[in-house]
Amino acid sequence: MLFNSGAFLQFFAAFLLLYWLARDSLRCRNRLIVAASYFFYGWWNWKFLGLLFFSSSFDFAVGIGLERLSVPSHRKLLLASSVTMNLLILGFFKYYGFFVESLAALLPAIGLPFQTATLHIILPVGLSFYTFQSMSYAIDVYRGDIRATRHFVSFLAFVSFFPHMVAGPIQRASNLLVQFERTLIITRSMLVEGVWLMIWGMFKKVVLADSFAPLVEMVYHDAPPGAAAVVWGTVAFGLQIYCDFSGYSDIARGTARVLGFDIMWNFNLPYAAASLREFWRRWHISLSTWLRDYLYVSLGGNRRGSARTAVNVFVTMLLGGLWHGASWNFLLWGAWHGMALVIERAFAGDSKSGASTSRIAGCARWILTMLVVFYGWLLFRAGSWHQVVAMTHALGDPVAPDWLGDFVLYLSVFAAPLLAMEFWQYRTKNLLAPLTLRGWNLAALQGVLLVAIAIFWTRGKSPFIYFQF
């Protein structure tokens, strides 16, 4: 079920009515959330509800077992069972075909015969998100960061909570699970924030992201007609994926706030970053912090010298790229960011200018960061290694197509409201800057956005990009 669909609006309206009636009973509220979340997920494909239930139940049992066991080796073995089970589920559904196809291409090339049966495996929507969330719970219990819950329904609600389960943010039990174990008070400020985020997130998806999509397709579908087309097409994709994914995250947080829950921010003006490390502190925050806390730290972090730190950074980003999908271009994207982060760490702080040149230096760092980020988007969006090579080669071709002027004008028109909003948020250091407007001014702004959403709503509904991950 898509957020940007009439079916979701009807579902959410019906759910709100029932939720309001059950809000004072913790047990009824959580059972309603689980039932609604499983209905929401099963709307796409009910056959995978069993997988969701099994994954949740397994880690619920692991959490209790970790608290009952006292022998370190036994606790490690039980944690390993959780990690192994989640990675096996993820590996089979998401990476089986990729690895088999890669072996089928590689082994015959070096003279080794290879044959295998072909399996047509459907990737369950949201699998990467809810397995990471469930697995992190077991790791946190093992580390002693949280206590294992004995409330099975609360845990099911934590994993399957419909606002975030399909495309994040990836939640931590220390923040969200505890909210299912206490009575929540819904305040006026929560409702105001939630409604605003739902409207703004829907505007970013329906009006902006889906308008950037055909521009991206113009450039990436056919052979690139020169450097200018590649550059502007990649800029369009950078805006598309940002509006698409941050729009989903805003709707998710807004929906949760209306229900009285507080889930984490997943984006914080990432294109304002003046370094790659800052970019990853602002982009897909729930994944970048997950990789830092559960992968990078487990590899040793920065505790074993500069050379080992560089390896840990590179491996973390490489696997972060693979998390996005079973494709070599995602691995290449992860390797690109990993290599760039290693180089940035090596040269960080080498040149410190005085106050008179600090603004110039900051601008230069921002431009360099964006060049790395947006070339990374080229790697991310390209459909094959051949296309990566062709589009990279086209960056040296000065030819510009006749339609480029109209392309840039169209792009600028739709980018303008996003840039204006983000400039406002950046200057005020407040992601909720519009809520500082007085009543009628805020109502007028929301009214304009709703009219725009209604106008563009009739287009074909496109899934959110991160549904495929």
The residues near 81 (Cβ < 8 Å, ≥ 6 apart) are 62
| CB 118 within 8 Å of CB 346 | no
Read off the tokens for 53: 């239930």
Tokens of 235: 């800029």
User: Buried b / exposed e across 154-177, counting CB within 10 Å, b at 16+?
Assistant: bbbbbbbbbbbbbbbbbbbbeebb
Which residue in 307, 303, 280, 304 sits closest to 292, CA to CA? 280
* Half-sphere exposure in the Cβ direction for 430 (13 Å, CA): 9
Q: Report the alpha-carbon distance of residue 230 to residue 220 in Å, rounded.
A: 8
Contacts of 92 (CB under 8 A, 6+ apart): 121
**164, 284, 324, 337: the active-site residue:** 324
CA distance 184 to 260: 6
Find out whether 206 and 198 touch, Cβ atoms under 8 Å.
no
Rg over CA atoms, the chain: 23
Q: Name the one residue in this structure whose structure tokens are 């030819």.
A: 399
Q: How far apart are CA 58 and CA 35, in angstroms?
A: 19
324: annotated active-site residue: yes
Give the catalytic positions in this structure: 324
